Amino acid sequence: MPTFDIYISPDEPVYVISVASKLSDLPVWTLRQLDKAGVVVPKRVGKKNRYYSLNDVKRLEYVHYLMDDKGVNISGIKIILEKETK
């Protein structure tokens, strides 16, 4: 059976919120709060569906580390991420 390599750009939004939740080990309600706060903003399809890219999931993993290991709240995480991107 032939195999096919498929390339998906790390910026391509392909993961629904439930999958992003499992990959980042963050509850869905936390992802919604992060979206609302502008920390990790997924692409919207329609009014309700959020789609996350691989880069979004990696950012969520970092957010999870900051929340659980360092005890930083969402407001603090937003400030940290803004300073890191400058």
The more confident residue out of 17 and 6 is 17
Mean pLDDT of 77-81: 94
Residue 78 parent element (H or E): helix 74-85
Listed in sequence order, the residues at least 6 apart from 71 whose beta carbon sits closer than 8 Å to its beta carbon are none
Map out the domains of the chain as residue ranges. Answer: 15-85
- pTM (two decimals): 0.89
Which CATH number fits the domain 15-85, given the four candidates 3.40.50.10330, 3.40.50.620, 1.10.540.10, 1.10.1660.10?
1.10.1660.10
Kindly compute the dihedral angle of the four CA atoms of residues 86, 57, 35, 21, in this order, to the nearest 10 degrees.
Answer: -160
For residues 9-24, b (16+ Cβ closer than 10 Å) or e, as one string?
A: eeeebebebeebbebb
pLDDT, residue 48, reads 85
Q: Are 19 and 57 in contact (CB under 8 A)?
A: no
